[in-house]
Structure 1
Amino acid sequence: MALFDLPLEELRGYRSLSAEPADFDAFWTKTLDDAREHDLDARFERVDSALASVQVHDVTFAGFGGHPVKGWLVLPAGTREQVPVVVEFLGYGGGRGLPHTHLLWASAGFAHFVMDTRGQGSGWANGDTADPVGSAPAVPGYLTRGIEDPHEFYYRRVFTDAVRAVEAARAHPLTDASRTAAVGMSQGGGVALAVGGLVPDLVAIAPDVPFMCDFPRATTFTDRPPYREVGDYLRTHRGRTEQAARTLAYFDGVHFAARGRAPALFSAAMEDQTCPPSTVFAAFNAYAHEDKQIEVYDFNDHEGGGPFQEAVQLRWLPGRLTA
């Protein structure tokens, strides 16, 4: 795919037209307060992963509604003192998979907490967390589940799970709660961005080619899923465009970015039709913390930088986690 979005010099000044709801902060404060009425009940069960360099714990904690959410905690083998923790959120359709696929951050000397995504985990990696909440008729996928009402929207549950995942990661005696970072790619990047706006004391976030940013542009600019799910829904449910836009505004990464309190490392890919670069730059340009940077991959699609971006993170993140 040839370059299709705005030129880079225009992207660096691009601003989203997404309108922030007047009660955005009140909505999320009430959501998280309700979640915290349930005991976090973070449980860590040591498992035999057949890996000599790490120790692995099967994690269960209470997310939105007190629903059980799974995860992995991967620590460097022999860890006896507290270490910084990297909390990772996963891409669309995938689950936590198997422990041996999560070795990067433990190999760098950190604790690595991987949150399973409720109701997903049947695409590119298996998952173990159900979503016990139903919804009105929706397009296959997740982006239109509960889109009629922000209180019922699927990602209200996921973002709440993610905040609780940070709390669960910090609950383990070998993690240093004061040195916590959030990372993720695509959907995981969008979740990391939301967590960065909802958790006030992270030391860093690293959203790669993040999904769920600048919904007004994304849902009208690309034909690729997942954003296309919204258009397909509205094609059938005529007359609900304003209602859907109102719901999505509570989950737009642009508004979470405006509340970002930690240093941030973004990435964007100029040929990315899944999360177009303008939508990523909309969040980056709105990001509130002055310590922010973005890596741009000129001729890449949604794979972005892949291992090259991981290499950038391995140089950038330790300086924040160990400062």
Structure 2
Amino acid sequence: MLLEMPLAEMKKYQGSTPAAEDFNAYWKRALKEMQAVSAEIELKRADFQTNFAECFDLYFTGVRGARIHVKYIRPKNIKSEQPAVIEFHGYGCKIEDWADKLIFAARGYSYFGMDCRGQAGYSEDTGGVIGNTRNGHIIRGLAGSPDDLLFRHIFLDAAQLAKIVMAREDVAADRVGVYGYSQGGALTIACAALQPAIKLAAPVYPFLADYKRVTQLDIEASAYAELKDYFRKFDPLHKKQLELFQKLSYIDIQNLAARVKAQILMATGLSDQVCPPSTQFAVYNKLKTNKELILYPDFGHEDLPGLRDSHYKFFAQL
């Protein structure tokens, strides 16, 4: 294990780029736009069904008109409000098979898994095309107004889904949890920050944090490769570096972390070569709520043994 920053320093590290001065006004304006959207929720019974749970494809309209797809599972014979768990997936991926999610329905919870717009699932990207685009999402909109950043819209999709979930008659609005790995970990933080009624949040090696630090480390893993590529193609002398990092600060989850009120269970692999541990600590150190960090010294951006069991116990609090 070769750390890119000593652990003692990481435990105090506060990130390399502060939030833009109008950061709070930016997200207030964004949430106002989200609140004005007519969600037009649609439920379609899925082909996959079980004898103890019902499975649905749920669609809603997000900001800028995109139709967002969600896998929704609820226990059969519901007689009262029950807890709910929302999952967000990794970058360029989608929510996986129904069978993998039945653990939540088996314990009496509803489950919602959101496909991020324009990635490998069934949610749209309306930025000029219909369908998926998969990658390049960090830099999408970077040349224009910060209000047009694609991850702004994806963060709002996460918050809007939480709003929809908490408004359901069969869900206990005060017993909703969120979780996800990598990009899903970032959306977990963003969702809990933008919907502070979220009770529990379990981000795993969160992506989308401390972009300047990432470029300083010259990370070339696929997740962040587009940042280096952007500078090489559009700003080879880094003359606009300050402006670009200021724009990225709006969608940097370390700057949203202080808004989170949910109880946090976070996990980090100290050998992570995709999302550098220091960038993850920049997020964790800014969380001001009840929090716990599980460290895996010899693991990177991969499956973390025992973590799913830890999540099962954590969400039992719902």
Q: State the partner residue of 2:55.
A: 56
* CA displacement at 1:37 relative to structure 2: 1.4
Report how far residue 292 of structure 1 moved. Answer: 0.2
1:56-205, aligned counterparts within 5 Å? 56-121=55-120, 127-134=121-128, 141-148=136-143, 149-205=145-201
Asked if the contact 1:209–1:266 (Cα under 8 Å) also holds between the matched residues in 2, the reply is: yes
Match of 2:316 in 1: 318
The structural deviation recorded for 1:304 is: 4.9
- Give the secondary structure class of the aligned counterpart of 2:86: strand
User: In the TM superposition, what is the alpha-carbon distance from 1:24 to its structure 2 partner?
Assistant: 0.9
Question: In the aligned structure 1, how far is the partner of 2:2 from the partner of 2:50?
Answer: 43
* 1:140, distance to aligned residue in structure 2 (A): 5.1
In the alignment, the residues of structure 2 paired with residue 5 and residue 113 of structure 1 have an alpha-carbon distance, to the nearest angstrom, of: 36
| Paired position in structure 1 for 2:277 | 277
What does the per-residue CA deviation read over 1:12-44, in whole Å, with 9 as the maximum and x for residues that have no partner? 222212211111111111112112212122222
Aligned residues: 310
| Counterpart secondary structure, 2:259 | coil
Q: Which residue of 1 aligns with 2:244?
A: 244
Task: Kindly indicate whether the alpha-carbon contact (under 8 Å) linking 2:46 and 2:56 is maintained by their aligned counterparts in 1.
Answer: yes
8 Å CA contact retained: 2:88, 2:115: yes
Query: Does the aligned pair in 2 maintain the 1:196–1:256 contact within 8 Å?
Result: no
Q: Does 1:223 align with 2:228?
A: no
Tell me the equivalent position of 2:16.
Answer: 17
Q: In structure 2, how many angstroms separate the alpha carbons of the residues matched to 1:172 and 1:42?
A: 11
In structure 1, how many angstroms separate the alpha carbons of the residues matched to 2:7 and 2:76? 44
Partner of 2:307: 309
Paired AA for residue 64 in structure 1: V
Instruction: Give distance in 2, aligned partners of 1:113 and 1:140.
Output: 23
Cα gap change, 1:112/1:220 in structure 2, threshold over 3 Å: closer, same or farther?
A: same
Q: Secondary structure at the residue paired with 2:92?
A: coil
Change (3 A) 1:316 1:246: same
- Measured in 2, the distance between the counterparts of 1:24 and 1:175 equals 32
Q: C-alpha distance in 2, partners of 1:70/1:23?
A: 32
Between the aligned partners of 2:76 and 2:4, the Cα distance in structure 1 is: 45
2:119–2:135: 8 Å Cα contact kept in structure 1? no
Q: Residue 4 of structure 2 corresponds to which residue in structure 1?
A: 5
Tell me, in whole angstroms, the C-alpha distance in 1 between the residues paired with 2:147 and 2:228: 21
TM superposition shift of 1:286: 0.6
- What residue is the counterpart of 2:292 in the other structure? 293
CA drift of 1:296 comes to 0.6
Once the two structures are TM-superposed, the CA of residue 66 in structure 1 deviates from its matched residue by 3.5
2:283 matches 1:267: no
Length-normalised TM-score, structure 2: 0.91
In 1: Cα distance, 2:189 partner to 2:135 partner? 25
**Whole-angstrom distance in 2 between the partners of 1:103 and 1:213:** 31
**Unpaired runs of at least 5, structure 2:** none
Summarize deviations over 1:265-323 as a string: whole Å, max 9, x none.
1111011011111111110011011x100011111110152x5211111112222x1xx
What value does the CA root-mean-square deviation take over the aligned residues? 2.0
Q: Distance in 2 between matches of 1:77 and 1:184?
A: 25
User: Matched residues in 2 for 1:105 and 1:12: separation?
Assistant: 33
Per-residue CA deviations over 1:63-100 (Å, capped at 9, x if unaligned) read: 11232111011122333321111111111011234422
Cα pair distance change 1:145/1:243, threshold 3 Å: same
CA contact (8 A) 1:139 1:145 kept: no
Q: Distance in 2 between matches of 1:107 and 1:55?
A: 11
Q: How many Å separate the matches in 2 of 1:105 and 1:286?
A: 30
